[in-house]
Amino acid sequence: MQDQEKENETLRAQSNLIPRDKFDLEASFVIGQDPQGLGSWIMIDKGSDKGIRVGMPVIFSQGLLVGKVDEVYANSAKVNLLSNADSAINATDLETGARGILKGEYGLGIILDLVSQKEALNVGDTVVTSGLGSDMPKGFLIGKVQEVRLSEDKLFQQAIVNPSVKFKDLEVVFVVKK
């Protein structure tokens, strides 16, 4: 009973913070996560029986992007987190408009990669989804630029992005259905 009461309080608190007016959201509890502790994926308690499909964005309160649905089962789904090495999302620097591809680094963090050297990236800038080339809506918050550096080939800039959500602490997430 105490666990169920805690779940209800958490769900109520998160429901008040999510952008319900813009999206059709499906609230889901996290029922499993990467056993290696790398923070590269989670399992949620909703699946195809609730209309969940591969590629749907998954957010936390106030439009904080967590990742995308990668595999769907009848009553559950696997979500690849932004820190997953297979993750790649078009993103932009909110302050400067610099665009790049957000990639995971084997559960260790996330990098905004392939940013032209002609564009400005600054420590502390906000990184959001750009809405280009995918089912990912524009404007989901990803995090803040922590460090800016040149790529290994010195052709592009990269920004290490500090995510706005701690993936290991996730209990309730929302799948963006429309």
Query: pLDDT (tens digit, 9 = 90+) per residue, 133-148?
Result: 767 888 899 999 999 9
pLDDT at 124: 94
**Which architecture, in CATH terms, is 88-163?**
Beta Barrel (2.40)
Query: Across all residues in the chain, what is the average pLDDT?
Result: 85
pLDDT at 10: 52
pLDDT at 161 over 50: yes
pLDDT at 167: 81
Please state the pTM of the whole predicted model. 0.82
pLDDT at 20 over 60: no
- Encoding tokens for residue 77? 């789904």
Which residues of the chain form CATH 2.40.10.350?
Answer: 88-163
CA distances from 35 to 40, 70, 85, 107, 168 (A): 10, 17, 16, 12, 11
Cβ contact 61:18 at 8 Å: yes
Q: What is the percentage of the chain residues whose pLDDT exceeds 70?
A: 84
CATH code for the domain defined by 2-84+166-176: 2.40.10.340
Give the angle subtended at the CA of 61 by the CAs of 135 and 15, to the nearest 5°.
110
Q: What is the percentage of the chain residues whose pLDDT exceeds 90?
A: 54
Give the angle subtended at the CA of 82 by the CAs of 151 and 108, to the nearest 5°.
65
Cβ contact 142:163 at 8 Å: yes
Which residues of the chain form CATH 2.40.10.340?
Answer: 2-84+166-176
Picking from 120, 119, 114, 139, the residue whose alpha carbon sits closest to that of residue 129 is 139
Q: What is the dihedral of CA 30, 34, 36, 38, to 10 degrees?
A: -90
Q: Of 47-61, 96-110, 154-168, where does the model show the most confidence?
A: 47-61
